[in-house]
Amino acid sequence: MRDVTGSALPLLAVEEARRVAAGVGADLAVLLGDLETWVNADTPGGDIERLDRLAAVMAHTLDGYGLHPELVPVAGKGLYLHAVLEGSGRARVALLCHHDTVFPAGTAAAWPFRAGVERCHGPGVADMKGGIAVAAHAARLLALGPRPFARVELVSVSDEETRSGAPLTLDRLEGFDAVLCLECGRVDGSVVSARKGGRWFRIHALGRPAHAGVDPDGGRNAVLPLCHEALRLTELHHAREGLTFQVTELITPAGVNTVPGEAFLTGDLRGPTAADLDWAMEQVRALGHHPDVELREEDLGGPPPLERTPAVAALAGAAIELGAAIGHHFGESLTGGVSDGSWAAAAGIPTLDGLGPVGGDDHTPDEYVETPTFATRAGVVAGLVAAIDAGLLADAA
Ligand SMILES: [Zn+2]
């Protein structure tokens, strides 16, 4: 739907962005009231009882906003919330959130939600209960308009901070046109159009132990080959653009007077594309020849990258344009951190992240979001839904 001038967002998308931003702004006290309730309910990862209680509270709120909430039990993880709003268009768009935080029970009592004209504070206000508030209130206003979409599905998972794999209900989003992930916007306001992926691995070395004083030549030192491997692997650091590598552990259980018969090292690779990470892992597996010491590589997996594909670039470009149209100016950025947006992207769904309110200092007592950006981000989210429905991603698919 975009012409070569690059400013051909459908009128309805801009109108929806304006209407929803204005509506959320006019009733900002309602959003802040919801957020206060959610932030003041501590939801540390793994505390199923607290997590489920908040999921039920949010489901009730979303029901009141015209969505159809479903609490989906996930083994060992508590309830995931899926809340659906149906429309008259074609696009299916997920608004991806999580309601677990890194803060232990009791944090909110000591340091409760505070709302100011410029900033809101409180545990998890940026990561990412503020993002849930943006999604919920964008959906509340979308329900009151022309509904240019087939399905908007707000998803809030209970285990983002503690899980190392994909969200466990991701298959429910199969065939969706896009995922909009509501982790907070970067400090400079930018949305996140790329996240690095990671790979972790361990290299085990098996030699032969011996007394370092009595029989030094009878041992086969397992640490020395790993030192050679560590130096070889360090060549991977910056070997490709954006690729980084660190040896993170080099460990032997042997004592100070023993030739170590066993040892291992671990490595941390990060890269912007799956191809870069696959290439780097091939280099990792090309272990050198070390007579008398057996080396074995163990793949520990890791999160996939969110790659800036043409579809992701189109989403980011539209978000930036929609923001500008409602007076909220920002750009796009790449980050090294991982979110559930990375897993959605790896499942093949065009994904844009960082659509939550602008904020920062996540996981610290200074965590904050910028109050005026609740309304403007909700407007951008709504405008994106309408733009996707109008065929934004048709050329980029
Ligand atoms: Zn988060």
Centre of ligand 1 to C-alpha 252, Å, is: 35
Nearest one of 40, 28, 38 to 137, comparing CA atoms: 28
Centre of ligand 1 to C-alpha 73, Å, is: 21
* Mean pLDDT, residues 305-328 taken together: 97
Centre of ligand 1 to C-alpha 140, Å, is: 22
The residue to which tokens 């009882």 are assigned: 49
- Per the DSSP assignment, residues forming a β-bridge with 203 are 265, 297
Centre of ligand 1 to C-alpha 225, Å, is: 39
Centre of ligand 1 to C-alpha 346, Å, is: 17
Centre of ligand 1 to C-alpha 123, Å, is: 12
Centre of ligand 1 to C-alpha 153, Å, is: 18
pLDDT for 396 equals 80
Centre of ligand 1 to C-alpha 183, Å, is: 5
Between vectors from CA 95 to CA 94 and to CA 100, what angle results, nearest 5°?
125
pLDDT for 397 equals 62
Centre of ligand 1 to C-alpha 115, Å, is: 20
Centre of ligand 1 to C-alpha 354, Å, is: 10
Centre of ligand 1 to C-alpha 276, Å, is: 25
Centre of ligand 1 to C-alpha 59, Å, is: 19
In the chain, where the domains are located: 11-195+305-389, 197-299
pLDDT for 254 equals 87
Centre of ligand 1 to C-alpha 300, Å, is: 22
Centre of ligand 1 to C-alpha 184, Å, is: 8
Centre of ligand 1 to C-alpha 42, Å, is: 15
Centre of ligand 1 to C-alpha 152, Å, is: 20
| pTM (predicted TM-score) | 0.90
Q: What is the largest CA-CA distance in the chain?
A: 84
* Domain 197-299: top CATH class: alpha beta
pLDDT for 146 equals 97
Q: Which residues surround ligand 1, an ion (CB under 5 A)?
A: 127-128, 183
CA–CA distance, 1 with 395 (Å, rounded to integer)? 8
CA–CA distance, 299 with 278 (Å, rounded to integer)? 12
pLDDT digit string, tens, across residues 45-80? 999 999 999 999 999 999 999 999 999 999 999 999
In this prediction, residue 7 has a pLDDT band, given cuts at 50, 70 and 90, of low
Q: How far from 112 is each of 58, 107, 109, 161, 390, CA to CA, in Å? A: 18, 8, 6, 21, 42
Q: How far from 78 is each of 45, 159, 200, 215, 292, CA to CA, in Å? A: 10, 8, 28, 56, 50
Evaluate if residue 280 carries a pLDDT over 50.
Answer: yes
Evaluate if residue 232 carries a pLDDT over 90.
Answer: yes
DSSP character string of 355-368: -EEEEE-TTSTT-E
CATH superfamily of 11-195+305-389: Zn peptidases (3.40.630.10)
Buried b (16+ CB within 10 A) or exposed e, 264-277: bbbbbbbbbbeebb
Centre of ligand 1 to C-alpha 130, Å, is: 10
> Which SS3 state, helix, strand or coil, does residue 22 take?
helix
pLDDT digit string, tens, across residues 83-125? 999 999 999 999 999 999 999 999 999 999 999 999 999 999 9
